[in-house]
Structure 1
Amino acid sequence: MSNADLLAHADRLKATNLRQLVDGDASRRDALVMSAAGLWLDASKQRLDSQSVSALLAAAKARGLSAAKADLLSGGIVNPTEGRPALHMAYRDGADIAGSEEAALVTRTQAETRAFAEAVRSGAYAPGGKPISRVVNIGIGGSDLGPRLVADALAMHQASGPDMRFVASLDPTDLELAVKGADPEATLFIVASKSFSTQETLMTALAARAWLTGHVGADRAGDFFAAASAAPDKAKAFGLDPERVFDFPDWVGGRYSVWSAVGLSLEIGLGPEVFAEFRAGARAMDQHFADAPPAENLPVMKGLIDVWNRMYLGYPSRCVAGYSARLAKLSDYFQQLEMESLGKSADLNGKPITHPSGALVWGGAGTEIQHSFFQWLHQGTDIVPVDFIGIRRHFSSDNDRERALAANMAAQGAALLEGREIDPADTAALPGHRDMPGGRPSSTLLLDDLTPANFGALISLFEHKVFVESLFYEVNPYDQWGVELGKVLTTGILSGEISGYDASTRALLGETGFQAE
């Protein structure tokens, strides 16, 4: 199935009334509603019919989905620019790599992090003579967004354990707020950095060490640190005991790393049992992705829907609306996962891409966002597909606020679809101003409940659907060269070597009185 064929289907459906499409053939809904691993996807409000779904499935087959999926799950080189596999699934036993060196490393690391988490939680590890009461995770990108998201989403499952805080910004107030009110003798910092040289993370870690030094002395400050890193020598030079440096291998990308030692703060704060349930839910989705036929496969179908909207219908962005206070950070997490993976302009051969690649991803928490940017979604001139992500239990809850939250989510999807047209003759009703065009697609994705397992399955679903999309965009979803140039230029600015920089940047630095190192 060629791109031209799919574009022809898209042109045909653009002229079709979406409400009529939704209310038409009942078998269409059967093809666009599916469930697995505690998740339920209803994509019946998407601008798709049986013909276009079949065409997308045929296109996925033609692009080698089956073989690519097998390579991913068995540890094949799916990151060709860096010559690496992408084995984040190994940390939840979702990869078929038994007997390999990678599998042995995962087993060892998991045993080490669990033992350390249990020692911290029990008070057996108490370098200040007091049980650890606050854990501060220092990281950036996936090393921050992943743990931060999961800590927030699963906060109601934290029955005991230290308070968890997260620091990512170089703004000194970020660290200051994280340690505000903390007892230095009962605080543990975890540095999540594969290289142990990421500028933002290392500078913040040095500031944290200086804070500790002022309270416990330089000779003891290192005792209040642990790390997830692939650079134990650098961590040791920083002052860490190698026994508290847990392996973060290069075949786990940062935005896919929450399952690994990067999740140490979660294993300590939520507890090893809750973290194990989170991993188990992801493993269930891994198995579904591996075994389910494409037409019934949640990651495959979600990936095809998002490709359809971006590449063939031409919608440049997608809104993620999380209908739970605990899902407020979900759009931030998916933003990095998708835009860092799919925001590429070169194909697998390094040649310029001539078709759209990954969409802009943005969003927030419902119902709050209904009173901010939903105005733009309903009446703006751009069409933006929406992912409504919520909790299925809320629909039948005895709690009136939970039911109202679910009703709001359902109503917003209906409003985007149906729109409203005011009688032009009824001038008192403000025709035009109160009209809404409708015909705007959305999907509803529900977790049976916000459990560790269901949430793990949700994150795994999106990881795999990104991989499916990459086959159509013809990009490597596991590298991120676009973040490198800014780092290099920052080094030049800090060193004062800016003679080759553009006139605007030089003027900015001069007029603001910037002081180089």
Structure 2
Amino acid sequence: MTSETGMKAIAAAQAGVDMASLLSDEARSDALQFEAAGLYLDLRRQKLTLPTWRALVERADVLGVDERLAALFAGEIVNGTEQRPALHPACRNPALLGESDAAAAMIATRKKTRAFADLMGRPDALDGHPVRRVVNIGIGGSDLGPRFVYDALGAFRREGVETHFVSNLDPADLDDALEGADPETTLILVISKSFTTQETLMNARAARAWIVEHLGEAGVSARFAAATACPDKAKTFGLDEARIFAFLDGVGGRYSLWSAAGLALETGLGSDVFDRLLKGAQAMDEHVATAPLDRNMPVAKALIDVFNRAGLGLPSRCVAAYSSRLERLPSYLQQLEMESLGKSVNAEGQPLSEGHSGPLVWGGRGSDLQHSVFQWLHQGLDEAPVDFIAIADHGRDDERVRALNANLAAQGAALTHGRTGEGALALHKAIRGGRASATFVMDRLSPETLGALIALHEHKVFVEAVIYGLNPFDQWGVELGKSLARSILSGDMAGFDGPARELTHRLGLD
């Protein structure tokens, strides 16, 4: 029986269950609430009975989730197509790798980035000038993770330092990041694992030209730094070797913010805050590595998400973050989950048996979503589970905070219970209910709890991949479009169809 067949069979066994009626089952309630590393997760508003939950946990046991997690933490090869380990947990705790060369390299790089970040905090950091603006140039994992964390930890930023992020080829993206900046007090960080990414290198060249225009070639060296798995390519690009921070090939892009790829966070937040972020993630690492499957928060969320997708056939999931600081969480999770789980073959290269892999992830900021997509969530013909993200203590006594969290609690209840319409517009006002949701509560939004939340989702994705039987660490699907774009730019249109040829002419590319 395949993983997906197993999920469908488990789901079929409880068809027709009324979700609202399950909430009075105390044993089920105890089984579907979890706490770890400053986070609370409530899975009671899901369409499954207690026996179904136990069947899911048994499925995880049969598929060897514990063993696969142990292999991940031990630095074993878990990325089979590229024959690499996945070293993001070791970035948080190099001791996981013992006295290996990889552990030593991580420790050395961390010391080097910390020294650099501390140097950038001095008033004479840039040829006698302080750093007032940091511009992080990267895309994908070199942008989304650091950008999300920097926004989320707005209350912890270094005083007097602005950090901007540039990812897009549209020249306006870099223009906006440099608007009002003083070249003498601007630090440019180029973040690229391969140091061949087109968007990053083109923007880096444009940023370099901006520095040269204002300060001459002599101003470049002190104002550029890079993080990459290919330091020789960064040197060839013209960067000072002392300001190139290497990370290992086993650190995947979308998992890389814990490595030197998080340089913008160390410089923009400070090394101590970055340390706290790492410690929060490490606390979740310790939980997922030691908690039994039925009390393991990332495993539980993974089981629920695969059950909803492969068992119930729900193609998407909404992430509703009830915090302005967490506004970019859905975008971050889109890459983490959809690039990891958006596969059509299993780890052995065979088709996934029933055509299911990870869902589409979307969402935004509560309570704004309540005035847009929640109409579709409540009364649309399609259905999507919702992840509510709450903060228990916002650190202020404010009626808006009470209203914000009241809205979150109300929306979860409304999705569960719906309502019966009355009067002439009864059919218009009726809301069916019975729609699933999960609720995360962070004690406070701190570096520690944010690190734990991110690590939870990283591990959740890994466990989902084990259940689906696929490799979450490669991303071959993103390469084809890049390759075709290079052909167009070189003038090689052989093999392109008529619409593509016509479009290149309309866009002035021929």
Query: Does TM-score exceed 0.5, indicating one fold?
Result: yes
Task: Give the distance between the partners of 1:204 and 1:175, measured in 2 at CA.
Answer: 7
**Shift of residue 123, structure 1, vs aligned partner:** 2.8
For 1:483, the aligned partner's letter is V
Q: SS of 1:389's equivalent?
A: strand
User: Unpaired runs of 5+ in structure 1?
Assistant: none
Could you say what secondary structure the match of 1:320 adopts? strand
SS of 1:289's partner is: helix
Which residue of 2 is the match for residue 494 of structure 1? 489
| Corresponding position of 2:317 | 318
Deviations for 1:384-428, whole angstroms, at most 9, x for unmatched residues? Answer: 00000110225x9632111111001111111111111213xx21x
Q: TM-score normalized by structure 1?
A: 0.96
Give secondary structure in 1 for the equivalent of 2:189: strand
Distance of aligned partners of 1:114 and 1:331 in 2 relative to their CA distance in 1, 3 Å threshold: same
Structure 2: state its 5+ residue gaps: none
TM-score, structure 2 as length reference: 0.97
**Residue-by-residue CA offset, 1:143-182 (whole Å, 9 max, x unaligned):** 0001100000001112525210000000001100101100
> CA separation of 1:94/1:11 partners in 2, compared to 1, >3 Å: closer, same or farther?
farther
TM superposition shift of 1:372: 1.1
Match of 1:471 in 2: 466
Tell me, yes or no, if the aligned pair for 1:94 and 1:287 is still in contact at 8 Å: no
The answer to whether the 8 Å contact 1:161/1:271 transfers is no
Q: 2:441 is paired with a residue of what secondary structure? A: strand
How many equivalent residue pairs? Answer: 508
Report if the CA contact (8 A) 1:84-1:251 is conserved: yes
Amino acid at match of 2:369: I
Q: 1:453 is aligned with what amino acid? A: E
Q: Which residue of 2 aligns with 1:32?
A: 32
What pairs with 1:373-452 in structure 2 (closer than 5 Å)?
373-393=373-393, 398-423=397-422, 426-427=423-424, 430-452=425-447
- Displacement, 1:84? 0.3
Q: Give the Cα separation in 2 of the matches to 1:125 and 1:89.
A: 32
**Contact kept in structure 2, 1:110 and 1:261, CA below 8 Å:** yes
What is the alpha-carbon distance in structure 2 between the residues aligned to residue 17 and residue 346 of structure 1? 34
Deviation at 1:4, TM superposition (A): 4.7
Q: Tell me by how many angstroms 1:115 deviates.
A: 0.2
Paired AA for residue 80 in structure 2: P
The offset of 1:7, in angstroms, is 2.5
Match of 1:21 in 2: 22
Deviation of 1:26 after TM superposition, in Å, equals 1.1
Match of 1:511 in 2: 506
SS at match of 1:438: coil
Indicate if the aligned counterparts of 1:154 and 1:452 stay in contact, CA closer than 8 A. Answer: yes
Instruction: Provide the residue aligned with 2:352 in structure 1.
Output: 353
Closer/same/farther in 2, CA of residues 253 and 444 from structure 1, 3 Å limit? same
2:240 and 2:255 mapped to 1: Cα distance?
A: 26
1:372 aligns with 2:367: no
Q: Which residue of 1 aligns with 2:12?
A: 11
d(CA) in 1 for partners of 2:421, 2:285:
48
Kindly state the Cα deviation for residue 240 of structure 1 after the two structures are TM-superposed.
1.2
- Counterpart Cα distance in 2 of 1:508 and 1:401: 49
Residue aligning to 2:362: 362
Distance 1:245 1:161 in 2: 25
Shift of 1:296: 0.8
2:478 partner amino acid? V
Match of 1:270 in 2: 269
1:85-484 to 2 correspondences below 5 Å: 85-93=85-93, 96-127=96-127, 129-160=128-159, 162-355=161-354, 356-393=356-393, 398-423=397-422, 426-427=423-424, 430-484=425-479
Paired AA for residue 224 in structure 1: R
Are 1:121 and 1:161, in contact at CA under 8 Å, matched by a contact in 2? Answer: no
Closer, same or farther: CA 226–307 of 1 in aligned 2, 3 Å = same
1:166–1:178: 8 Å Cα contact kept in structure 2? yes
Kept in 1, the 8 Å contact 2:320–2:364? The answer is yes
Inter-partner Cα distance in structure 1 for 2:497 and 2:63: 43
- C-alpha spacing 1:179/1:397, structure 2 compared with 1 (3 Å): closer
Per-residue deviation, 1:374: 0.9
Is residue 322–residue 391 contact of structure 2 (8 Å, CA) maintained in 1?
yes
How far residue 431 of structure 1 moved from its aligned partner, in angstroms, is 1.6
**Distance change (3 Å), C-alpha of 1:11 and 1:94:** farther
* d(CA) in 2 for partners of 1:437, 1:35: 31
Distance 1:132 1:398 in 2: 35
In 2, the alpha carbon distance for the partners of 1:64 and 1:480 equals: 24
One-letter amino acid of the counterpart of residue 39, structure 1: L
Structure 2 counterpart of 1:487, one-letter code: K
Deviation at 1:302, TM superposition (A): 0.7
One-letter amino acid matched to 2:308:
N
Q: Contact (CA 8 Å) 1:113, 1:246: kept in 2 or not?
A: yes
Residues 94 and 106, structure 2, Cα contact 8 Å, conserved in 1: no
Q: How big is each residue's C-alpha offset from its partner over 1:466-499, in whole Å with a ceiling of 9 and x where there is no partner? A: 0110011111001111111011000001011012
| Compared CA separation, residues 161 and 265, structure 1 to 2 (3 A) | farther
Which range moves more in the overlay, 148-157 or 350-359?
A: 350-359
Given that 1:339 and 1:358 are in contact with CA atoms closer than 8 Å, whether structure 2 keeps it comes out as: yes
Give the Cα–Cα distance (whole angstroms) in 2 for the partners of residues 474 and 113 of structure 1.
37
Assess if the C-alpha contact under 8 Å between 2:416 and 2:436 holds in 1. yes
**Distance 1:358-1:480 versus aligned 2 partners, 3 A rule:** same
Contact 1:397 1:403 (8 Å CA) reproduced: no
Structure 2 CA distance for partners of 1:205 and 1:6, relative to 1, 3 Å: closer
Percent sequence identity over aligned pairs: 53
Matches of 1:211 and 1:159 in 2, distance apart? Answer: 25
Residue 245 of structure 2 aligns with an amino acid whose one-letter code is F
RMSD: 1.4
